Structure 1
Amino acid sequence: MERVLFEEHRTDRPSNQRWELHDDLAEVICRCENIWESLQGARIFLTGGTGFIGCWLLEALRHANRQLDLGLQVTILTRNLSAFQTKAPHLASYGSFRFIAGNVADFAFPGGEFSHLIHAATDASADLNERNPRQMFDTVLLGTRRTLDFGLAKSVKRCLFLSSGAVYGQQPWELEQVPETWTGAPDCVNPKNTYAEAKRAAEMLCSIYYKQFGLEVSIARIFALLGPYLALDIHFAAGNFILDALRGRPVIVQGNGRPCRSYLYASDLTVWLLHMLVRGQPGKAYNVGSNETVSIAELAERTARLIGNGEFQVLNAGDTGWNPGRYVPNTDLVGQELGLYKTVSLDQAIVRTALWQGWNKQGD
C-alpha cells in the first residue's frame, strides 16, 4: 500500500514542513532529467528487486514511466513474489513490471530482449554470514556469474553491479574517508569477512567479463543507507535505533558507541545508481554513500532527540560486528565524473525513515 502524507510536528523544525514519498520520487525524476532519454523503451533485467534498494529503483522507474511515458519495462527476478505482493502491492501489480521466480545462482534465462541489467541480488544478513558463510559466498559469487552470463547471452548494452564498501576491509582510523584507490582488503582467513570477500571476488568477475567479453559493467560500492523500506529489526544500527525511538524506549547502543559510519538517504542513492547505470564508466568502481561521519553513539543521541523521548544508553558490551572502526567513503570521484552529490541531510534521513514507518506524533 502506498504510504500517506505525514506532517512533522516537532518544535525544533519549521512549522508546516511536510514530506511524502512522492516528493522524493519527484526529486529523483528531476535529478535524472538527462538520463531518461537513454532509458526510453529500455528493457531492464533486475535481480534483487524486492529488497530495500530494489524497491527504490522500482518506485523511481514506475514513477518515471508514468510521468514521462518512457515505455520501459522491467523484468524482476525474485524468490518470493507473494511476500513482495504483501510488501508493495502497487509495485507487484504494475503492468510494466514482470516478475519471474528463481534463485540468482541458477535461474532460467527469461525470453525476450534486454538492454540494461542491474544486479542487486545479495543476502547481506549478518546471521547468514555467521551461520552459513558458504551459502553467503555462493549466493554472491555464483549469482554474479549467472547474472553476467545472462547479460552476455542477451547482448545487454549496459550493466550495473551493486557491490559494497565492505570490500575495503578495516578502514584505518587515521583514514577519515576511504577512496576507490585505497588497496586495503578484508582478512581472508576470518570467516566474518565472507560477505566482503565474496563481493571482492564478484567485482573481479565483472572486470573479467568486461575485459574478456566486452560486457560493459559499472560497479557501485555501497555504504550504509537510510530511507523508506529499510528493515528496522535486523542488524543495521540505524534501523534498530529508529525502532527503539518509535516504540518510546531509550535508544540502546550495545557496544561502546565509538565506531563511525555515514548514511546516504535512499533518494540520493537511487539518483546515483540510475546515473551509474547509464553514464558510469565500464570497468570502474564508484563509492556510493555519504561522507558525513557520525559515531554510533552520536547517531543514537541524534535519533533519540529527533524522533524519540531524548533518552539513549551506551551499554559498552563487547563489539562482535565485522567492523568496529570507521566505515565512511570518499565520494569525490562520483562528484567529479558524474556530478552527483548528497542532497538529504542525516537529520532529514532519520526523520523521513521514521515517518515512513508511521511516526506522526502530535503536540511534541
Structure 2
Amino acid sequence: MTSRDDMHASQKPFLEIASADFARLAQHIDSQDFAGKTILVSGATGFFGMWILALFAWMQKTRDVQFRVLAISRNPRNFQARHPWIEGAEWLQWITGDIQDFTFPEETVDCVIHAATDTSAAAGRSPGLLLNSIVRGTERILACAKACHAKRILLVSSGGAYGGQAVETPRLLESLRTAPSTMDLGSAYGEGKRVMELLGAIHAHENECDVVIARCFAFVGAGLPLDGHFAIGNFIRDALTQERIVIRGDGKGVRSYLYAADLAVWLMRLLSNGQNREIYNVGSDQEVMIAELARQVIASLAPEKTVVVEGASNSPGAGNRYVPSIDQARERLGLDVWTPLPLAIHNTALWSSKNS
C-alpha cells in the first residue's frame, strides 16, 4: 500500500516513469518496423500523443534504430515547457498548426498516426464544432498523406462509434453493426469517428495506402486529466487530495482500463502490422464496476480513506457498460493487457500528484 505522503515523496518525471514502463514491456516493442522511416503524428501533444512521443524517445535511446517523427501541434512550445525531455530531440520536427489547416511537409512520409481529437467535456458542449473538427481534421490529414505518398495510416477512432452498449452485451465486438443515435446531440463524437473511419476506407480504396482503424476505449496513465469527465482520473485526484471518494451515482457502471504504456505499444503494432481496412478494438477486457474501481484506487493510493456511494438503484444488475472484446488484437497481433490495474493507478499518481 502507498500512503499519500509516500506518493508525494516518490514523484517521478514523466519520461522516467514512461521509460521504466517501456523497459518492462520491451519484449513487445518492435522497433525495427520503423527503421529509416518518417512518421507523421497528429495530436502529438495530447494524452495519446505524449505517450507515443515517449515511446519514440525510448526507442531512440535504447534501440539501434533511426527514424524521423513529424509532430503536428498548435502549441509545441507550451508542450516543451511542460516536457523538457522532448526539447532538442534530433529525431523530432514540429509542424505548428491546427489539424484542420496545418501546412503539409515538403517531403515523403512513410506512415501516419492521426490521433488528434478534442475529447474534453467542453468540446462535447459544442456538438456541431466537434463533429466538424473531427471530419475536417481527418480530411486534412488524409490529403496530407496523399500529397506525401504515405503508404500506411492509423486512424485513432473510438468505441463511441458503436453507440451505447446493452447491459446484456458483455463485450463490444468489431463485427457489431450498432451505431450512435442520430437524434442524440451527444452522438457528435461517435458519429464523427464513424465518418473518420469511412473517409479512411475511401482513401484506402482510391490510393495505394493501407488504412487501419483503432477503436479506443478507456485508459489511465500520466497525462490523463484529473479534473475532466474521466472517472478514474477523478478518483485518483480525490484519493490524493480529498478525505474520501464520493460517487454521486449508484456505482454500478462497468468500465475497463488499458494503461497508457500498453496503449502506445498497441498503436505502434497496429500501425506496422494491422490489416488494411480493418477495425481493431483498443482497450482492456478486464471489466470493473465503478464502485469497485474507486475502492481499488483507494487501496493503491490511500488505504486509510473511504468510498461513499450516494446514489441508489433498485436494479440488481450493472449499470451502463463500456467494455470491448480485444480477442481480435490478441489473436491476430499478439497484443494484450500487460499492465495490471493497481500498477497503472500507482504510476499515474506518481506523476499526476505532482502536476495536478
Per the normalisation by structure 2, the TM-score is 0.91
Identify the residue that residue 281 of structure 1 maps to in structure 2: 275
Where do 1:43-122 residues align within 5 Å? 43-122=38-117
User: Residues of 2 paired with 1:261 and 1:165: CA distance?
Assistant: 12
Q: CA deviation at 1:267?
A: 1.4
Contact 1:242 1:350 in 2 (8 A): yes
**1:140 alignment partner AA:** I
Identify the residue that residue 301 of structure 1 maps to in structure 2: 295
- Asked if residue 334 in structure 1 is aligned to residue 345 in structure 2, the reply is no
Where do 1:133-152 residues align within 5 Å? 133-152=127-146
Q: How many residues align?
A: 339
Contact 2:280 2:328 in 1 (8 A): yes
In structure 1, the residue corresponding to 2:222 is in which secondary structure?
A: coil
Unpaired runs of at least 5, structure 2: 5-11, 314-318
Where do 1:212-231 residues align within 5 Å? 212-231=206-225
In structure 1, the residue corresponding to 2:305 is in which secondary structure?
A: coil
User: Please, which of 14, 18, 23 is the counterpart of residue 26 of structure 1?
Assistant: 23
Give the structure, 1 or 2, with the largest relative contact order (CA under 8 Å, sep 6 or more).
Answer: 2
Cα deviation 1:147-198 (Å, max 9, x = unaligned): 0111111111111110001111111101111110111111111101110110
In structure 1, the residue corresponding to 2:251 is in which secondary structure?
A: coil
User: Please, which of 243, 247, 251 is the counterpart of residue 245 of structure 2?
Assistant: 251
Identify the residue that residue 351 of structure 1 maps to in structure 2: 346
Contact 1:301 1:310 in 2 (8 A): no
Contact 2:226 2:236 in 1 (8 A): yes
User: Residues of 2 paired with 1:157 and 1:317: CA distance?
Assistant: 53
**1:268 alignment partner AA:** D
Inter-CA distance 62–20: structure 2 relative to 1 (3 Å threshold): closer
Contact 1:225 1:265 in 2 (8 A): yes
**1:244 alignment partner AA:** D
Q: CA deviation at 1:38?
A: 2.2
Contact 2:284 2:326 in 1 (8 A): yes
User: Residues of 1 paired with 2:38 and 2:68: CA distance?
Assistant: 5
Identify the residue that residue 41 of structure 1 maps to in structure 2: 36
Inter-CA distance 86–184: structure 2 relative to 1 (3 Å threshold): same
After superposing the two structures, state which structure 1 stretch, 142-151 or 253-262, moved more.
253-262
Cα deviation 1:73-100 (Å, max 9, x = unaligned): 1111101122202221211431211111
Q: CA deviation at 1:239?
A: 0.2
User: Residues of 2 paired with 1:86 and 1:240: CA distance?
Assistant: 25
In structure 2, the residue corresponding to 1:214 is in which secondary structure?
A: coil
Inter-CA distance 161–317: structure 2 relative to 1 (3 Å threshold): farther
Q: CA deviation at 1:55?
A: 0.6
Q: CA deviation at 1:249?
A: 2.3
User: Please, which of 227, 231, 241 is the counterpart of residue 233 of structure 1?
Assistant: 227
User: Residues of 2 paired with 1:42 and 1:8: CA distance?
Assistant: 42
**2:178 alignment partner AA:** G
Identify the residue that residue 196 of structure 1 maps to in structure 2: 190
Q: CA deviation at 1:209?
A: 0.7
User: Residues of 2 paired with 1:273 and 1:44: CA distance?
Assistant: 13
Cα deviation 1:247-266 (Å, max 9, x = unaligned): 14211212221111100011
Identify the residue that residue 316 of structure 2 maps to in structure 1: none
User: Residues of 2 paired with 1:72 and 1:338: CA distance?
Assistant: 23
Q: CA deviation at 1:9?
A: 6.9
Identify the residue that residue 167 of structure 2 maps to in structure 1: 173
In structure 1, the residue corresponding to 2:66 is in which secondary structure?
A: coil
User: Residues of 2 paired with 1:55 and 1:92: CA distance?
Assistant: 13
Sequence identity of aligned pairs in percent?
A: 36
Cα deviation 1:237-293 (Å, max 9, x = unaligned): 100000000114211212221111100011111111110010000100100000011
**1:305 alignment partner AA:** A
User: Residues of 2 paired with 1:326 and 1:267: CA distance?
Assistant: 24
Q: CA deviation at 1:295?
A: 1.2
Cα deviation 1:11-52 (Å, max 9, x = unaligned): xxxxxxx994322021344311xx322211111110001011
Q: CA deviation at 1:317?
A: 8.8
Contact 1:84 1:92 in 2 (8 A): no
Identify the residue that residue 207 of structure 1 maps to in structure 2: 201
Q: CA deviation at 1:296?
A: 1.1
User: Residues of 2 paired with 1:288 and 1:259: CA distance?
Assistant: 20
Per the normalisation by structure 1, the TM-score is 0.89
Q: CA deviation at 1:8?
A: 5.3
Unpaired runs of at least 5, structure 1: 1-6, 11-17, 319-323, 360-364
Cα deviation 1:53-84 (Å, max 9, x = unaligned): 11111001111012223221111110112220
User: Residues of 1 paired with 2:25 and 2:256: CA distance?
Assistant: 21
User: Residues of 2 paired with 1:331 and 1:144: CA distance?
Assistant: 25
| Cα RMSD (Å) | 2.1
Identify the residue that residue 13 of structure 1 maps to in structure 2: none
Cα deviation 1:96-120 (Å, max 9, x = unaligned): 1111111111211121221111000
In structure 1, the residue corresponding to 2:62 is in which secondary structure?
A: helix
Contact 1:254 1:317 in 2 (8 A): no
User: Please, which of 265, 270, 273 is the counterpart of residue 271 of structure 1?
Assistant: 265
